[in-house]
């Protein structure tokens, strides 16, 4: 498939489709829209299919790490570019391409600004075709690769409040990711990250090729349905992804806690309970019957506006529809097939996840 030049006309579709695939996480659509619009004004970000990349090319993952609901979170646009520069400088590597860590309202456009400024193409092979809470989940199974040394660079924080920091770390995936998560806490809640240089051959086998185009396709269907009303917009997302709207109604209760760089809690709506750890983890009836389990895609959409609603933004008395898409319909990376990576999510939510893999 031909290279896709990322233009202003694609911004809305990418952001809204990415937000649906965020499954409750993946960052703010507002911030994603701003970053993408800035990128297309500053240069020409390019999306290249993974099949068109040499297996020996070095690809770098770009992402944001932190708790979306944190009140002091700040990463200036230049921080996303600086993180890539810092990784290349300190790691003594040349990035031939950039891949986003996941899909989400912000995550789906990870790399657009860096591509526009640095001239490095974005490769359509996200580490995961949906959003996930931990860095290890978005590491394409590298945590289990013997002798792999992770390089990670993080930049973020408000310089006016003394929160700004830059960090470079190398070590195993889990150690490096934990330090980056703590950097996000120290920065006020959020950092831009560049990490895990690896050859394209590995990415093709272990990432989620085509997931960015999938997100754009979902968004285009939703945007095209807007003239029919918000119900049609929600149904368009379900149809394109092969999912279903399992319930709709007024949000009865939202419990949210921000701790250790993560948001966690639960939402009650339409007789169902949704638990989350940044992303929605489980969907159950009140009698405990399980309907959906991460990495199935569980997502809330506003019934008044038709827009996706993240766990950081959902509010009591909001009218929402709940979308469920089975994992078999998603493009998932190797991190979604590693049971040990689900253990922290079980501890936080108090729900069994591994048994449903």
Alpha-carbon span 35 to 41, nearest angstrom = 10
Residue showing tokens 């830059």: 166
CATH of the domain at 19: 3.40.1610.10
In this structure, the answer to whether residues 182 and 265 fall within a common structural domain is: no
* 341 part of a folded domain: yes
Alpha-carbon span 112 to 99, nearest angstrom = 10
* 220 part of a folded domain: no
Alpha-carbon span 192 to 190, nearest angstrom = 7
- pLDDT tens profile 128-169: 999 999 988 999 999 999 899 999 999 999 999 999 999 999
In this structure, the answer to whether residues 185 and 265 fall within a common structural domain is: no
In this structure, the answer to whether residues 166 and 110 fall within a common structural domain is: yes
Whether this model's pTM surpasses 0.85: yes
Of 211, 244, 276, the domain-final residue: 211
In this structure, the answer to whether residues 250 and 194 fall within a common structural domain is: no
Q: Specify the pLDDT at position 261.
A: 80
Q: Please state, rounded to an integer, the average pLDDT across all residues of the chain.
A: 96
- pLDDT tens profile 284-317: 998 999 999 999 999 999 999 999 999 999 999 9
* 251 part of a folded domain: yes
* 221 part of a folded domain: no
Contact 100, 63 (CB under 8 A): yes
Torsion, Cα 85 88 91 94, to 10 degrees, reads 170
In this structure, the answer to whether residues 266 and 298 fall within a common structural domain is: yes
**Per this entry, what is the length of the chain?**
357
Q: How many CA atoms lie within 13 A of 207 on its CB side?
A: 29
* 270 part of a folded domain: yes
In this structure, the answer to whether residues 201 and 235 fall within a common structural domain is: no
List the one residue out of 73, 14, 75 whose CA is nearest residue 308. Answer: 14
Q: Specify the pLDDT at position 88.
A: 98
Q: Specify the pLDDT at position 121.
A: 98
* Distance (Å) of CA 310 to CA 32, 51, 61, 291: 13, 32, 23, 19
In this structure, the answer to whether residues 173 and 247 fall within a common structural domain is: no
Alpha-carbon span 299 to 322, nearest angstrom = 6
Whether residue 170 is predicted with pLDDT greater than 70 in this model: the reply is: yes
Q: Specify the pLDDT at position 71.
A: 82
Contact 97, 21 (CB under 8 A): no
- pLDDT tens profile 3-31: 999 999 999 999 999 999 999 999 999 99
Whether residue 41 is predicted with pLDDT greater than 80 in this model: the reply is: yes
Contact 332, 206 (CB under 8 A): no
Of 211, 242, 262, the domain-final residue: 211
Quickly state the pLDDT bin for 1 (edges 50, 70, 90).
low
Alpha-carbon span 343 to 134, nearest angstrom = 11
CATH of the domain at 247: 2.40.390
Quickly state the pLDDT bin for 67 (edges 50, 70, 90).
confident
Strands 4-5, 46-49: pairing kind: antiparallel
In this structure, the answer to whether residues 270 and 343 fall within a common structural domain is: yes
Can you list the pairs that 302-308 forms with residues at least 24 positions away whose Cβ atoms lie under 8 Å?
302/230, 303/230, 303/231, 303/234, 303/248, 304/230, 305/230, 306/222, 306/226, 306/229, 306/230, 306/231, 306/233, 306/234, 307/16, 307/19, 307/29, 308/16, 308/19, 308/20, 308/22, 308/29, 308/105
Q: How many CA atoms lie within 13 A of 237 on its CB side?
A: 35
In this structure, the answer to whether residues 153 and 244 fall within a common structural domain is: no
To which H or E segment does residue 280 belong?
strand 279-285
Of 147, 182, 211, the domain-final residue: 211
Alpha-carbon span 273 to 294, nearest angstrom = 14
Look up the domain containing 89 and give its range: 4-211
* 141 part of a folded domain: yes
**Tally of domains within the chain:** 2
**208 exposure class (CB count in 10 Å sphere: 0-12, 13-18, 19+):** buried
In this structure, the answer to whether residues 203 and 239 fall within a common structural domain is: no
Whether residue 68 is predicted with pLDDT greater than 70 in this model: the reply is: no
Q: What is the mean pLDDT of residues 196-206?
A: 98
In this structure, the answer to whether residues 197 and 245 fall within a common structural domain is: no
H helix runs in the chain, sequence order? 8-21, 29-42, 77-91, 112-118, 173-186, 200-206, 211-224, 230-241, 343-349
Whether residue 260 is predicted with pLDDT greater than 90 in this model: the reply is: no
In this structure, the answer to whether residues 207 and 101 fall within a common structural domain is: yes
* 217 part of a folded domain: no
Alpha-carbon span 215 to 108, nearest angstrom = 8
* 163 part of a folded domain: yes
Q: Specify the pLDDT at position 236.
A: 98
């Amino acid at each position: 498939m031909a290279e896709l030049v990322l233009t202003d006309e694609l911004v809305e579709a990418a952001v809204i489709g990415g937000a649906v695939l965020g499954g409750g996480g993946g960052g703010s659509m507002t911030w994603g829209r701003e970053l993408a619009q800035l990128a297309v004004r500053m240069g020409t970000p390019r999306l290249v299919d993974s099949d068109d990349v040499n297996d020996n090319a070095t690809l770098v993952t770009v992402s944001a790490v932190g708790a979306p609901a944190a009140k002091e979170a700040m990463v200036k646009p230049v921080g996303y570019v600086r993180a890539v520069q810092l990784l290349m400088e300190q790691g003594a590597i040349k990035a031939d391409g950039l891949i986003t860590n996941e899909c989400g309202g912000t995550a789906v456009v990870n790399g657009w600004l860096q591509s526009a400024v640095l001239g490095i193409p974005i490769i359509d092979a996200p580490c995961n075709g949906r959003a996930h809470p931990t860095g290890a989940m978005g590491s394409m199974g590298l945590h289990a690769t013997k002798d792999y040394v992770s390089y990670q660079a993080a930049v973020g924080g408000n310089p006016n409040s003394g929160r700004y920091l830059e960090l470079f770390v190398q070590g195993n995936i889990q150690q490096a990711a934990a330090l980056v998560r703590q950097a996000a806490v120290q920065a006020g809640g959020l950092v831009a990250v560049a990490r895990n240089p690896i050859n394209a051959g590995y990415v093709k086998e272990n990432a989620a090729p085509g997931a960015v185009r999938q997100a754009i396709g979902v968004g285009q269907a939703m945007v095209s349905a807007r003239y029919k009303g918000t119900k049609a917009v929600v149904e368009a997302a379900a149809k394109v992804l092969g999912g279903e709207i399992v319930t709709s109604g007024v949000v009865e209760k939202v419990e949210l806690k921000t701790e250790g760089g993560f948001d966690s809690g639960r939402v009650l709506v339409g007789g169902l309970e949704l638990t989350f750890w940044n992303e929605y983890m489980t969907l159950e009836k009140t009698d405990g019957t399980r309907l959906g389990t991460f990495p199935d895609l569980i997502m809330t959409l506003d019934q008044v506006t038709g827009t996706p609603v993240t766990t950081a933004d959902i509010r009591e008395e909001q009218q929402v529809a709940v979308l469920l898409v089975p994992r078999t319909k998603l493009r998932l990376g190797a991190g979604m097939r590693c049971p040990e990576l689900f253990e922290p999510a079980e501890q936080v939510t108090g729900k069994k996840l591994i048994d449903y893999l």
